[in-house]
Structure 1
């Protein structure tokens, strides 16, 4: 696994169309397996969008969340996964589908599973869009397997992640064009200029007195 603190770690921009396609693939796998979840629990925040898409594809309405964090902006990893909100208490005796964007270190999924199982559900299955092969936790369902580790930048976290990457660049880029160039040079991604302009504007706003 690559070091998340590596200023030159390889990244991949995930598009909305890829997210939709992978969600449908995961939903198809769930139907084919015969698993019929009663409730979906999203791991906040990365699992929000995939969970909602799976609810729609599977015709499910009951959606809850549990907030667990292991990374901050720009792939900055905190010491250990932490649970910031309790699991939904009303899953006792139900079939639960636990959803996140990807399986990486496995710490987030493992903690979420431990928290959920304390609520005594009938069964818990895990679904993610991307399963990184290095993860010690094997999801029951995933849309795509990642063999060569890289950091995945999802469309709902582009500004957050890019601002984290740009903030640690030395020297800090003077222009959006230079930031785009450095992101490509350091992380192998082609960030849209308009997006980077928005990121830099947000960063300047935060730094203003």
Structure 2
């Protein structure tokens, strides 16, 4: 483990998570753009995507970006890009838009595969106003310049505390 100070872990409770999911689903449902599929971005976006999928009564697909298995997510994103090019509307869901790295990667790969960007939207439970990427829907906004907490979503809270701290410390630029 790094010599960096212990991160401030902020555990998001189930009720708060559920309220955030309902907020995002309501934003999507009340808008003038309706997705054909919800796409959960693995790992953190899978649980919220399932909930949003049920709330909106829409089918769900998943992309496992977090595994970092070479080519795995890329191949699936190529297939998803073809769907968007054919007119299918896709809502990508993740837990947090922190640095914007995941969303940036997905947008670039979709563009490289000739997607129709007009058929894509992104939703998160929490978005960082300082992120290098913007999203279309979010339940809450943070400012990483002042908010250094490490957010622990309900599905992550079952992990060992040491593992959560180690993960937080793996991205020190978000904590200091």
Q: Which range, TM-score by smaller chain? A: 0.7 to 0.9
Report if aligned partners of 1:83, 1:111 keep a CA contact under 8 Å in 2.
no
Q: Secondary structure at the match of 2:121?
A: strand
User: Could you say which residue in structure 1 is the equivalent of 2:132?
Assistant: 136
CA shift at 1:160, angstroms? Answer: 3.1
Report if aligned partners of 1:7, 1:165 keep a CA contact under 8 Å in 2.
no
Q: Between the two structures, name the one with larger relative contact order (CA 8 Å, sep ≥ 6).
A: 2
What is the CA–CA distance in structure 2 between the aligned matches of 1:5 and 1:104, rounded to whole Å?
Answer: 23
Alignment partner of 1:127 out of 110, 118, 123: 123
Measured on the aligned residues, the alpha-carbon RMSD in Å equals 2.8
Per-residue CA distance 1:3-47 (angstroms, 9 max, x = gap) = x98342222101111111001101111122211001111110100
What is the CA–CA distance in structure 1 between the aligned matches of 2:152 and 2:71, rounded to whole Å?
Answer: 22
Report if aligned partners of 1:68, 1:83 keep a CA contact under 8 Å in 2.
no
Question: Is the radius of gyration larger for structure 1 or structure 2?
Answer: 1
Per-residue CA distance 1:90-146 (angstroms, 9 max, x = gap) = 523211100000001100111122233426245110000011222111110000112
Alignment partner of 2:76 out of 68, 87, 90: 87
Moved more, 31-40 or 18-27: 31-40
**TM-score using structure 1 length:** 0.65
Q: Secondary structure at the match of 1:60?
A: coil
What is the CA–CA distance in structure 2 between the aligned matches of 1:17 and 1:100, rounded to whole Å?
Answer: 18
Unaligned segments of structure 2, at least 5 residues: 168-174
Q: Secondary structure at the match of 1:134?
A: coil
Unaligned segments of structure 1, at least 5 residues: 71-79, 169-186, 188-209
What is the CA–CA distance in structure 2 between the aligned matches of 1:119 and 1:52, rounded to whole Å?
Answer: 27
User: Could you say which residue in structure 1 is the equivalent of 2:171?
Assistant: none
What is the CA–CA distance in structure 1 between the aligned matches of 2:43 and 2:154, rounded to whole Å?
Answer: 13
**TM-score using structure 2 length:** 0.76
Q: 1:103 to 1:158 in 2, by over 3 A?
A: same
